[in-house]
Structures are given as C-alpha cells and as structure tokens.
Amino acid sequence: MIEFLGVSKSFGDAAAVRDLSLSIERGEFTVLIGGSGSGKSTTLKMINRLIEHDAGRILFQGQEIRSFKPEDIRRRMGYAIQSTGLFPHWTVAQNIATVPQLLKWPAARIAQRVAELLGLLGLPPDQYQGRYPHQLSGGQQQRVGVARALAADPEVLLMDEPFGALDPITRGALQQEMARIHRASGKTIVLVTHDIDEALGLATRIVLLDQGRIVQAGTPTELLRRPANDFVRDFLGRGEIGIKLLGLETVAARVRPNELAEGEPIAATMSLRDALSVFVARSVERLPVVDAQGRPLGTLYFADLLRSAV
Amino acid sequence: MSVDLRPANRVLLVFVLAGLVAALSLAFLTQAPNRLVSGVGVPLRTLLHGANWALVLGPFALLALAVFRQSSVATQGLVTAAAATLLAVLVWLAGAHAKQMADAAEAAGNSAGRTSFGGGFWVWTVLCWLAAADAVQRLKLAPLGRTLALAAVLAPVVVLAASGELAALSLFKEYDNRQDVFDAALWRHAQIVGVTLLPTLLLGVPLGVAAHRHPRFGAPLFALLNVIQTVPSIALFGLLMAPLAALALALPALGIGGIGLAPAVIALTLYSLLPIVQSTLTGLREVPAAVVEAATGMGLTPRQVFWRVQVPLALPLLLSGLRLTTVQAIGLAVVAALIGAGGLGAIMFQGLLSSALDLVLLGVLPVVAMAVAVDALFAVLTQWAQRRQP
C-alpha cells in the first residue's frame, strides 16, 4: 500500500530521516514509535506530502507520491493530529464533512455519513452535530477528530499522536475504539506515538525509530520476545518485558474448559497481565473464568501464564 | 433595621461629590452681549426656581442613594435611568434659560446676546454620561445591548435638540447661521474617512498577509510604518503638498492637487496602515498552527486554507484593528482642514481663529459623536465575527 525506498529528509543540516525503507501492507495497523527527534512524525508527514522527502522514493499503491497532486493524495488519506486541529468556527457536523465537501459529495450523502460516524464514535448525532468544538470535552473533540479523518472513507488513516493530550481513562477508551474500528473496517492505519503501551496494544506491526533510522520492525510479540538490541530492550522497558507479553493476550487464550474453580470469576476478555495481578492480589493459583454474558467458561491456572503462546 | 453607611459604589460616590462641587463653584451657563466677548457666569441655582428644583434634585438624590446600594440589575438600571434623566433635565434647563434670556433681550431690542454652556454644565454632562456608562458596564450586557442602552441614555438630549427647545443656545445659533456649511463639512468629514479606509484595507490587509507569510519582509515593513506613525500629522500633510503639487502639474488628468482631498487621504492612509497591518498579522498568527496543519493535511488547497480557515479566524482581530484605525482617522481628519481638505476641522479652526468658542464646539462635538458611534458599531461587528469562537 505504502512503500518507502531509501528515503531521506533533513531540515537544514539536521538529518531527520536517513535512508529509510519500509513497506506498509494493506490492512496493517502500523505504529511508528520512538523518542523525540527519532523522525517518526517526519516519516508520517512525508506520506501525505505535508513534508516533502529529499531523497529516495515513496510509493502509494505502486505510484510515486509526487505524481499525485498533494491535495488529491491528502483527500484519499484521513489525517488526525494530537490537538485535533478542529475548526473552531465550524460545527461538529461541518468539521466532519470537510473532506466529503471537498470531494463534492451530495448533501444528503454527507448528512448521512456524518450521523453514521458520530454514532460509530459514541456521540449521539442529534445531541452533538450542531455543537462547536469549544463546547466539547477533550475526549469528545478527539472523537470528532477521528470521525473527521474517517469521513470520506479514506484508503489510509494517518494519525500523529492522536491521543497524546488526553487523560489515561479517555485515552484507553479511544484506543479501544480505534482497535475496534480497525478490526471492523480493515483500514490501513499508520499511527505515531511515543507511548510503548499504546503501540503494543494497537499495532499489528511496530516500527521503532531512532535518529531517523529503523531500529527494529515487527509484531509486538516479535519485539518483546526477540528485541534486536539493548536500545529496543530499554525502550520496551527492560524489567517489564514479561509483563508486557502477558498484556498482549487475553484470558480466553489460556483458559482450561470444563473445570470451574471457586471464587469471584474474571472475564475472558481480561488481559493476562491483569489476570496476573488478580492471582497475586488474591494469593490463589486458579481463577474461574466467565464470558461476556457471565456464563462459566472454565478455569485459568497460574502456571499456564508461563506456557508459551507460540 | 440597620443602615449600612459604607459606600458600595465608590465610583458613583466620586461622581456625586464632584457634581456637588461643580454645582457650587462653577458657572452653569455664561451670558454675553455678543458671540465674541466672554460672558458673565450664571450659577445653576439661578435656574432652579419652582418645580425645577425637584426636576434636578430628584434624579440627583437617586444617584446619591444608589452609592450605598449593593450592585444589582435593579440598582444599575436605576442609576442609568437617573443619570439619563438628569442629563436631559440639565440640557432642557439650559435651553429654557437661554430662550428666556433671548426673549427678554428681544423685548429690549438687542438680539446679539448669547447664552453659552459654562464649565458647570460640561462637568455635569460628563459626570452624567460617565455614571450612565459605568452603570451600563456593570450590567454586563452584550455589545449590542450596551450600545443600545447608551443610545437610550442620549436619546432624550437628541430629541430636545431636534425639537428646537435648545435653539436659543449659542451653539445652536452658530449651527443656524452655518447650517449649509456644517452639513457640507459633516459630509466631507465622513467622505475623507470613508475614502481613506478603502486604500487602507486594499494595501494594509495584503501587507499584513505578506508579513505573515514572509517574516523577513515583516521586520523592515513595521520599522517603516512605525517611523511614519511618529511623524506629526501636520508635518506629514506638509511633506505631501510639494510632491503632489508637482504630480498634479505633470498629470492634470488625475484631478488631484497639492492641497485638498488627495494629500489628506494619502496621509491618513499612511497613518492607518500600522494598525491594520499589525492586526492582520496578529490575527493570522493567532490562528492555531494545528488547525492550519489539519486543514492542509485533509487536502484543502492553500487558497481554501486561507479563505475558509485563516480569514474567518483572523477576522475579529482584523476588525478590532479597523476599529482603531477608523476612530484614529476620524480624529486626524480634523487636522486635514489645514491643508484645505475641509471637513469639521475647517469649522473648528474657524472658531479657534475668531475666538468663537461655540463655533469650535460645533466642529468638535460631531467629531466626538462620530468616533463614539463608529466605535460602538465596530464593537457590535466584532462581537458578531466572534460569535462562534470561545
């Protein structure tokens, strides 16, 4: 879908991205992660030509992105940023309708799409479409920002630290929304963050950057199990790698059916990381597991946490 | 019931005390045998016979009482109404007294006598206006409501002036004698200001946009505009006379001259550029970078980003710059009379040169009124442009 071939970019004398090659497949949720100055934002903004690359080639669906008009390529890619960049003088509905309007969709189709997206992001349309951004909370603004990026059903969704300014609870809720939207739509998503837990929770593929170069790219499990070097280990949080591995899986993957332990049951959708916490807190070795409807599923054994997933 | 004697509204207390001092120490009107000699003072108490006492003391007592009342919508409404009533009563008293004096003089065969406003009248007028304005301010109305409330305070005075009740006052006699000249000057003044705004906007807004896009161009531009701003207006008018006269001689078809409208408009435009360029630049700078980035990232063309995002968001600040510029131009246009541009300044200077104080007032009062009206108009416009912004 998107391919970087030996791409470099510098600002004045400072190199931001050096000889970067990366292939992003259709339907992948790619997370670009790194510290400040790692080149992750520059890499993202080169995709929709907000920043023009100096050397190398960037292909979108096999074509050099310079062969498109910048506006055309941008309208085919949703774009959401940290401080939302919502237009303060437009209503929520007008904000979401930005790209469909640029693409000259008929009014009825736009109205329908706006209502659909507001519903998808948990904002009742009747209540929210006429409001102005300053009448919304930070989390609601970010939801509108995501809805606006999705409005014209773009082929690619680019997100630049979209949840960076939110409180942990709101951020968690929006991360879950994003994971759900990705599962449901199968969209190609490229997201920039500096938060390793966000990356591990959302990505199908993590690209860890440092000083404009890719240090390691792979699935969350690959990074956690086989970190390429000490930098990756440090970035993942050396002492917590095991815990984070448990965070990638849910209780459902390890439950033994047809047995039922005593005690307060845990949900099958709970992460193994949270389950570990419950084991320790209750000082037990077995926990009963129930599904979303509260029906008994089986038992989770403490020892099974150590069983390799692969 | 205990009465709290500590003043709740100190501002109003100052106004009331100042009014008392002015009433006791300053002449309310002056009476002169003709328009050029200075007259004899007429204290306020001379005018207060019979029911007039109640007319003045009633609203004044209300204002004095309001000093001790905690601020509330009712109190501030009362202060506004009392100040407006007192203002109207004082103006009416002045007019009535002037009429009485004129009738007496007429009977004695002397029609050159003049009744003018004295220091006491002006102090009372200003105090009434300030008390009303302060009370309206405390009502915390929207700009439109504030403007309407202040207009309502002035309305009785305007009605009195229009009804002919004040015709015997010297100021109105000056107006009667020069009605045609005054009307033409008023129109001309508005014309100078209006004609100035056009090149100001056509030049200033693009210059502000250019300074925003190319910061390196902005620094020398502002240096130049600041220098212009420091040149005294008379000097700038003078400086423009020679080159424009030469230009007029070379190209008579332009229809301009070294004196008159052309140098006035050019000089006023030069002064007006700084606030317009500055407010355009500030307005554009205040548009959040994230909003512009998001707009660009979603595929708006640079032109669409400018017109749909930057301009509407910069508009309130641009309007506030235009407000400053227009009020400034209304004032500066007075000086333009010195280079033959006409306008209300011409009447004012004529009054100054012939020591006829009421003629000076006839030139200055409309300028003040025009500035206040334009200021209020722009306050409402700015509010409208801001209606959707936090």
Q: What is the mean pLDDT of residues A280-308?
A: 86
The Cα–Cα gap between B249 and B252 comes to: 6
| Environment class of B44 (CB within 10 Å of its CB; exposed 0-12, middle 13-18, buried 19+) | buried
Inter-chain contacts counted by CB atoms under 8 A, chains A and B: 72
Please write the tens of the pLDDT for every residue from A131-166: 999 999 988 999 999 999 999 989 899 999 988 878
The Cα–Cα gap between A301 and A1 comes to: 42
Nearest residue to B160 (alpha-carbon basis) of B54, B85, B264, B249: B85
Sign of CA dihedral B174, B175, B178, B183: positive
The Cα–Cα gap between A124 and B336 comes to: 61
Q: Helices (DSSP H) in chain A: which residue ranges?
A: 40-47, 70-75, 92-96, 98-102, 107-120, 125-128, 138-150, 168-185, 196-202, 220-225, 230-236, 241-247, 272-282
Nearest residue to B86 (alpha-carbon basis) of B135, B134, B146, B156: B156
Place of tokens 């200055």: B364
Residue A308 pLDDT class (50, 70, 90 cuts): low
Q: What is the mean pLDDT of residues B89-97?
A: 90
Instruction: Tell me which DSSP letter residue A16 carries.
Output: E
Say how many CA atoms lie within 13 Å of B349 toward its Cβ.
Answer: 15
Q: Under an 8 A CB cutoff, do B313 and A89 touch?
A: yes
Residue B3 pLDDT class (50, 70, 90 cuts): low
**Does the beta carbon of A48 lie under 8 angstroms from any beta carbon of chain B?**
yes
Q: Which residue of B has its CA nearest to A94?
A: B308
The Cα–Cα gap between B174 and B360 comes to: 10
- B380 CA to chain A: closest CA distance, Å? 18
- Using an 8 Å CB-CB cutoff, list chain A residues near B290: 81-85
Provide the edge-to-edge strand list for the sheet that holds A188-193: A77-81, A156-160, A188-193, A29-33, A205-210, A213-218
pLDDT number for residue B388: 65
Nearest residue to A84 (alpha-carbon basis) of A176, A1, A147: A147
Say how many CA atoms lie within 13 Å of B379 toward its Cβ.
Answer: 15
User: Side chain identity at A68, as an amino acid letter?
Assistant: F
pLDDT number for residue B251: 78
Q: Which residue of A has its CA nearest to B296?
A: A50
Token pair, residue B10, equals 């100190």
3-state DSSP call for residue A17? strand
Please write the tens of the pLDDT for every residue from B28-57: 888 888 777 778 888 888 888 888 888 888
Q: Which residue of B has its CA nearest to A148?
A: B298
Q: DSSP letters along B298-348, please? A: TT--HHHIIIIIIHHHHHHHHHHHHHHHHHHHHHHHHHGGGGT--SHHHHH
Please write the tens of the pLDDT for every residue from A34-54: 988 899 999 999 999 999 999
Nearest residue to A172 (alpha-carbon basis) of A30, A40, A274: A274
Q: Is the pTM of this model over 0.90?
A: no
**Does the beta carbon of B385 lie under 8 angstroms from any beta carbon of chain A?**
no
Per the DSSP assignment, residues forming a β-bridge with A299 are A256, A288
Q: Under an 8 A CB cutoff, do B290 and A72 touch?
A: no
Sign of CA dihedral B257, B261, B266, B267: positive
In chain A, residues 223-282 whose CB comes closer than 8 Å to chain B: none
Q: Under an 8 A CB cutoff, do A89 and B294 touch?
A: no
Q: DSSP letters along B202-264, please? A: HHHHHHHHHHHH-HHHHHHHHHHHHHHHHS-HHHHHHHHHHHHHHHHHH-GGG---SSSHHHH
Q: What is the mean pLDDT of residues A75-102?
A: 91
Please write the tens of the pLDDT for every residue from B290-312: 999 999 999 999 999 999 999 99
Specify whether the CB–CB gap between B79 and B63 falls below 8 A: yes
**Does the beta carbon of B303 lie under 8 angstroms from any beta carbon of chain A?**
no
Q: Is the pLDDT of residue B189 over 50?
A: yes
Nearest residue to A148 (alpha-carbon basis) of A105, A96, A98: A96
Q: Which residue of A has its CA nearest to B314?
A: A89
The Cα–Cα gap between A38 and A211 comes to: 4
Question: How many angstroms from the chain centroid is the CA of residue B339?
Answer: 23
Which residues lie below 8 Å from residue A200, measured CB to CB, with a gap of 6+?
A206, A220, A224, A244, A247, A248
The Cα–Cα gap between A63 and A292 comes to: 46
Per the DSSP assignment, residues forming a β-bridge with A57 are A5
pLDDT number for residue A310: 41
Least confident stretch, A59-73, A155-169, A257-271: A257-271
**Does the beta carbon of A88 lie under 8 angstroms from any beta carbon of chain B?**
yes
The Cα–Cα gap between A235 and A215 comes to: 11
For chain B, counts of helices (H) and of strands (E): 16, 3
- A183 CA to chain B: closest CA distance, Å? 23
- Which member of B288, B298, B301 has the closest CB to residue A98? B298
Residue B370 pLDDT class (50, 70, 90 cuts): very high
Give whole-number Cα distances, B278 to B284, B291, B376, in Å. Answer: 10, 22, 21
pLDDT number for residue B2: 47
pLDDT number for residue A295: 85
Q: What is the mean pLDDT of residues B211-223?
A: 88
Burial B321-350 (b: 16+ CB within 10 A, else e): bbbbbbbbbbbbbbbbbbbbbbbbbbbbbb
- Using an 8 Å CB-CB cutoff, list chain B residues near A164: none
Provide the edge-to-edge strand list for the sheet that holds B29-32: B40-42, B29-32, B114-117
Residue B108 vs residue A119, higher pLDDT: A119
| Chain length of chain B | 390
3-state DSSP call for residue B87? helix
3-state DSSP call for residue A179? helix
**Does the beta carbon of B293 lie under 8 angstroms from any beta carbon of chain A?**
yes
User: Side chain identity at B101, as an amino acid letter?
Assistant: M
Percent of chain B with pLDDT over 90: 32
Nearest residue to A51 (alpha-carbon basis) of A70, A75, A23: A70
Q: What is the ipTM of this complex?
A: 0.83
**Does the beta carbon of B383 lie under 8 angstroms from any beta carbon of chain A?**
no
The Cα–Cα gap between B298 and A152 comes to: 10
A77: left (phi over 0), alpha (psi -120 to 50) or beta: beta
pLDDT number for residue A115: 93
